[in-house]
Amino acid sequence: MVIILDRQHYGKPGQNDLGAGADLDGDGVVELDEREANLTPLYISAAKELAESEGHTVYVLDAGWYSARHEQAIQIAKSHPDDMCAYIACHLNAGGGAYSLTLHDYRSHGGEKLAKAVATEMSAQLTEIDRHLVRAASPEDWTNGYNTIKGIYAGPGNLSGVCFEPLFMDNVEHQKYLDHDGLALLGYILANACIAWGTE
């Protein structure tokens, strides 16, 4: 199968968007290495390594407007017509929540199945987080998440996408997963979920 991992926030033309942040070391300053888009590469790298070691193809996107990245994902899927293709908008959450969240396009049956596969793997591996939510994103509901994946639905039938928000950076209980080993675990979970979805 094919997994397309999009390091979102980062790489928007003319913008210095690094997403959410949290003072992880308690020094009163949110530094660059405590920003969302500088932490997601650690789980992206782990997911890529695991998936490729099992013979799957992985692409990492990190530049352009989201619409351009969605078009790039569509072209990748078209170039792999015999493979299931999973597009993951890679994020970390903030705002004081206590759950993991995987969003899918409200129109997409494949996206819903992929989101459920991610939540199932999260639930099995991260037992300290007791809620693993799957929600349909639309222009009226979960709209920010919808904007991260909405262009994927225009692609071929072998392509499905989700927005992955595995934890809250500003939740003290979740911060234990924001070191190297914890982020690697998130990457392994993500890769295994995609593989389970794509090869079932």
How high is the pLDDT of residue 128?
Answer: 84
How high is the pLDDT of residue 130?
Answer: 86
Parts of the chain with a pLDDT under 70: none
C-alpha span between 84 and 80 (Å, rounded): 8
C-alpha span between 38 and 21 (Å, rounded): 10
DSSP-assigned beta bridge partners for residue 89: 6, 163
How high is the pLDDT of residue 72?
Answer: 98
pLDDT digits (tens, 9 = 90+) for 72-109: 999 999 999 999 999 999 999 999 899 999 999 999 99
How high is the pLDDT of residue 80?
Answer: 98
Phi, psi of 39 (to 5 degrees): -105, -35
DSSP-assigned beta bridge partners for residue 101: 133, 165
Number of Cβ within 10 Å of residue 32's Cβ equals 9
Task: Say whether domain 2-199 belongs to CATH 1.50.10.10.
Answer: no
How high is the pLDDT of residue 141?
Answer: 97
How high is the pLDDT of residue 38?
Answer: 97
According to DSSP H, which parts of 14-108 are helical?
36-53, 66-79
Strands 85-90 and 159-165, by their bridges, are: parallel
